[in-house]
Amino acid sequence: MVRTKVAIIGAGPAGLLLGQLLHSYGIDNIILERQSPEYVLGRIRAGLLEEGTVALLDQVGAGARLHREGLVHDGIELAFGGARHRIDMSTDVVAWLVFAASLGAGLMAGVFYAFSTFVMRALSRRPHPEGMAAMQTINVAVINPLFLGVFLGTAAACVAAVAAALLRWDHPGSASQVAGGALYLVGTFGVTLFGNVPLNNALARLTGDDPAGARRWDDYVRLWTRWNHMRTAAALASAGSLTVALCRGYGAD
């Protein structure tokens, strides 16, 4: 007669893993299997293992062969139209995404920094109809593919970078990646949309001969520049955080 604390029926993946887990906690157990050992060892139960399963196998010290012989997928394949389409989700893609987002945020910080440090000062020194007209022209000229491509493209890259970090939270640098993306999305993109753009729209309706023109132009410069300081700082902080995420998460070991 054999005595044991736990008897497990079946040496499938569930039974074997439970046995190993109990063993790692020092709990005595026996696995009963109706098939032969050759059958158990030779039967393939899974072609694909999810990350959580791999982590659990590592945790109980049963992952050595898996790491030696297993193929890491780093992506998925969609099959349609008679062909297989691979979507590469390897870390390299995310690394390039974070890299692009950090460059874009840095570039935007530079653009807005110029306005904070000298462009608005120069315009405010001109007679108000001149300053207003120049700013109105800038606000029209800025709507072009080169500026909007970087401004909106960086926002899109930040959304993807934040999503990638949340999906793989255990990956090093994820917190910096989320912080960097959120700083740009809220502090730069959001502030532009809800701070600067409404002011620009109001300025577009203002004419040089408006009796309250001088006061409204002064108000515009003061408020617009305040929002601009904020989005400059946010873009710079975003570029910094994303660079930290790159170094921590994708730097050489």
Ligand X SMILES: Cc1cc2nc3c(=O)[nH]c(=O)nc-3n(C[C@H](O)[C@H](O)[C@H](O)COP(=O)(O)OP(=O)(O)OC[C@H]3O[C@@H](n4cnc5c(N)ncnc54)[C@H](O)[C@@H]3O)c2cc1C
Contact positions toward ligand X, by CB under 6 A? 9-15, 32-35, 40, 45-49
CA end-to-end distance (rounded Å), the chain: 54
Give the DSSP per-residue string, 83-106: EEEEEE-SHHHHHHHHHHHHHHHH
Length, in residues, of the chain? 253
Supply the minimum distance, in Å, between the C-beta of residue 9 and ligand X.
5
The least CB distance from residue 57 to ligand X, in Å, is 11
Q: Please, which residues have CB within 8 angstroms of residue 248's CB and are 6 or more apart in sequence? A: 172, 173, 176
* Bridge pairing between strands 83-88 and 75-80: antiparallel
Residue 181 near residue 175, CB atoms below 8 Å: no
Q: Measured from the CB atom, is 29 or 139 closer to ligand X?
A: 29
Nearer to ligand X (CB atom), residue 16 or residue 206:
16
Nearer to ligand X, 50 or 209 (CB): 50
SS3 202: helix
Of 49 and 133, which has the nearer Cβ to ligand X?
Answer: 49
Name the residue nearer to ligand X (CB basis): 13 or 61. 13
Nearer to ligand X, 3 or 45 (CB): 45
Q: Taking the complex as a whole, how short is the minimal distance between the CB of residue 53 and ligand X, in angstroms?
A: 6
Place of tokens 């890299």: 99
Whose Cβ is closer to ligand X: residue 7's or residue 152's?
7
Token output for 49 = 């293992």
- Min dist CB 50 to ligand X, Å, is 7
Least distance between ligand X and beta carbon 197 (Å): 50
Least distance from C-beta 195 to ligand X, angstroms?
Answer: 50
Q: In the complex, which residue's CB is closest to ligand X? A: 12
Burial degree of 212 (CB within 10 A; 0-12, 13-18, 19+) = exposed
Token pair 């997928």 in the structure block, residue: 73
Which are the contacts of 110, defined by CB distance < 8 A and separation ≥ 6?
none
Cα–Cα dist 214/126, whole Å: 11
CA 73 to mean position of chain CA atoms: 21
Least distance between ligand X and beta carbon 80 (Å): 21
Other C-beta atoms lying within 10 Å of the C-beta of residue 125: 9
